[in-house]
């Protein structure tokens, strides 16, 4: 019994699960995650921003995720040169059902911040005293979900321990960091030939914001294929929604500015 308790204590202490300096009247958390395709060993690529290809409005409304938030970069109050891309973050209840979503901006150090640039991310439509699973979704990468529920005011970092993500082998190791696997270009949580087909249809493209640009440098080429090949057959633990939504845009993989 003592041995079992010791193992549980070790596993729990390995998780990046700490109190943040956030204070708000609403449920508020800090998050960090690193994405394999975008990670160069030191930071994540900011090519979309520097090449002025990053969508001004979050692009997940025209995807399998069907997220309809109106977040834009127009009022971002921070260093815009550190912006990598958009992601959708979901709060999930004890049954793992999505109960709240926000479009967040990924920064080069892995921080996920609000469209205003705030590290303390508020969710206005849930109970402040509740505890929720956190899932992160980025086009081109598998979605991941926290292995534990996170309370108000806490900080959760997916990049420090395999056990931080729920499910088996949901993260990959690179340069001593835990990264979210790349290659799921259509967002169905399975890296397979459907994703390859997306790459094959446009395998030589430059200066476009495309979901199958695995390394986010606005150049689609064999490097993106190699990322897909490395991770093919990987399956994510969870979708952005537990039930497949009707998605009239799912074949429109290129984002069009509204």
Q: Where are the alpha helices (DSSP H) in the chain?
A: 2-13, 47-50, 193-201, 222-231
Q: Which of 102, 107, 118 is nearest to 48 (CA)?
A: 107
CB–CB of 247/66 below 8 Å?
Answer: yes
Quote the CA–CA distance of 141 and 145 in Å, as a whole number: 13
Q: Alpha-carbon torsion 50, 204, 257, 70, what sign? A: negative
pLDDT digits (tens, 9 = 90+) for 59-110: 998 777 778 889 999 999 989 999 999 999 999 999 998 899 999 999 999 9
Answer whether residue 13 shows pLDDT above 70: no
* Number of C-beta neighbours around residue 258 at 10 A: 11
Lowest average pLDDT, out of 33-42, 169-178, 195-204, goes to: 169-178
**pTM (two decimals):** 0.86
Average pLDDT of the segment spanning 111-136:
96
Question: Where in the chain are the domains?
Answer: 2-231
CB 88 within 8 A of CB 100: no
Grade residue 244 by pLDDT with cuts at 50, 70 and 90. Answer: very low
Instruction: Kindly report the number of other CB atoms within 10 A of residue 9's CB atom.
Output: 10
Residue 68 and residue 183: Cα distance in Å, rounded?
24
Averaged pLDDT of the chain:
86
Per-residue pLDDT, averaged over 156-177, amounts to 93
Angstrom distance (rounded) from CA 76 to CA 95: 34
Query: Which pLDDT does position 249 carry in this prediction?
Result: 36
The answer to whether 194 touches 216, Cβ cutoff 8 Å, is: no
């Amino acid at each position: 019994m003592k041995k079992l308790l010791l193992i549980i204590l070790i596993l729990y202490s390995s998780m990046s699960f700490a109190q943040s300096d956030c204070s708000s009247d609403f449920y508020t958390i800090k998050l960090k995650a690193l994405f394999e395709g975008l990670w160069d060993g030191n930071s994540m690529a900011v090519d979309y921003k520097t090449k002025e290809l990053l969508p001004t409005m979050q692009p997940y409304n025209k995807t399998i995720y069907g997220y309809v938030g109106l977040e834009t970069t127009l009022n971002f109050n921070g260093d815009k040169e550190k912006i990598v891309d958009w992601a959708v973050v979901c709060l999930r209840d004890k049954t793992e059902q999505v109960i709240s979503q926000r479009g967040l901006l990924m920064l080069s150090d892995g921080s996920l911040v609000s469209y205003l640039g705030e590290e303390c991310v508020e969710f206005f439509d849930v109970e402040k005293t509740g505890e929720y699973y956190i899932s992160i979704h980025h086009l081109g990468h598998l979605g991941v979900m926290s292995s534990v529920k996170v309370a108000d005011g806490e900080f959760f970092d997916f990049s420090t321990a395999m056990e931080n993500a729920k499910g088996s082998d949901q993260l990959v190791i690179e340069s001593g960091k835990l990264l979210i696997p790349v290659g799921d270009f259509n967002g169905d949580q399975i890296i397979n030939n459907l994703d390859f087909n997306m790459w094959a249809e446009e395998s030589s493209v430059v200066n476009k914001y495309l979901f199958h640009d695995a390394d986010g440098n606005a150049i689609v080429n064999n490097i993106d294929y190699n990322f897909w090949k490395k991770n093919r057959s990987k399956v994510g633990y969870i979708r952005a929604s537990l039930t497949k939504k009707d998605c009239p845009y799912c074949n429109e993989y290129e984002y069009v500015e509204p």
